[in-house]
Amino acid sequence: MKLLAGNSNRPLAEAIAASLRVELTKAVVHRFSDMEVFVEIHENVRGEDVFVIQSTSYPANDNLMELLVIIDALRRASARRITAVIPYFGYARQDRKPGPRTPISAKLVANLITTAGANRVLTMELHAGQIQGFFDIPVDNLYSAPLMVPDIINNVGKDHLMVVSPDVGGVTRARGFAKRLDVGLAIIDKRRERAGVSEVMNVIGDVKGMRCVLVDDIVDSGGTLCNAADALLDAGAVSVQAYVTHGVLSAGAVARIAASNLEKLVITDTIRATEGVRVTEKIRVLSVAQLIGEAISRISSESSVSSLFD
């Protein structure tokens, strides 16, 4: 087994390698003057089981291109099996046609990864489960609940606890958290007027006197979480925290969350944390290195990955 890392999230790749007690494969991934991606692998990978660790986060197109070129280099170097380990799968929010003459970019990206030469994909908390069907190769989709549920129990506690979905689309995820924690579930009825802007309309469920935990897969602008926190507090909640897998946190999001009524935002390191995230007291980062490392080990040994979540 060999691990190879792109440039998108080097600290996570190093942490995964440390958890597996292996060294990252020596390789050069850099740019020519016109920003073309160049890859050169400095170790023999012929006949090897290779895992390429690369999130397609900001800058999404550059990191995606890096992933594709690395996969092509490995295929041409006769690697036995290539697994694309994509902790954060960019373009996942474009999983359907929201209107006429619009693309399904998640399917396009799946085709690109398959055509480049990947034999399987390991990812985490896909925005929509059906994206697994966009690939014609095996896909293992990991979930953050095994990390976040114990953290909620240890740092929030279960007394007067209520799990909240910030929108109707996330009810299945929130219900899973509520079931694991054996607590109640509430839902935010949200109407989105345009991309990146959300308006909270109503709270479904009795949250009066409860300590609420919002759970979601992606936090981008932070507007949804901040509006949801305000609505929950207006409805009588005592406090509001949020647990979100992927901290996209685009421009202004960190400052928005820091100034919000959220008590704490907990994210994972599927996307490399910016300096702003690291210094903000309201944001805490959980590492998924151990979980991804265990999944990689099981894939390499042909063991069950789904049993990780039993």
Annotated binding residues for ATP, as ranges?
A: 34-36, 93-94
Task: Kindly list the distances between the CA atom of residue 183 and the CA atoms of 136, 163, 240, in Å, as whole numbers in the listed order.
Answer: 38, 7, 15
Triad 248, 92, 15: Cα angle to 5°:
55
> Each residue of 64-84: b (16+ CB within 10 Å) or e?
bbbbbbbbbbbbeeebebbbb
The active-site residue, picked from 190, 208, 264, 282, is 190
Annotated binding-site positions for Mg(2+): 127, 167
CA 133/CA 95 separation, integer angstroms: 11
CA 45 to chain centre: 28
Annotated active-site residue 179? The verdict is no
Annotated binding-site positions for D-ribose 5-phosphate: 192, 216, 220-224
CA 87/CA 300 separation, integer angstroms: 17
At 165 the three-state DSSP class reads strand
- Residue 128's nearest CA partner among 104, 100, 152 is 104
H helices of the chain, in order, are 10-20, 60-76, 105-116, 145-155, 171-181, 223-234, 253-258, 275-279, 289-300
> Distance between the two ends of the chain, CA-based, in angstroms?
26
CA 30/CA 33 separation, integer angstroms: 10
Active-site residue numbers?
A: 190
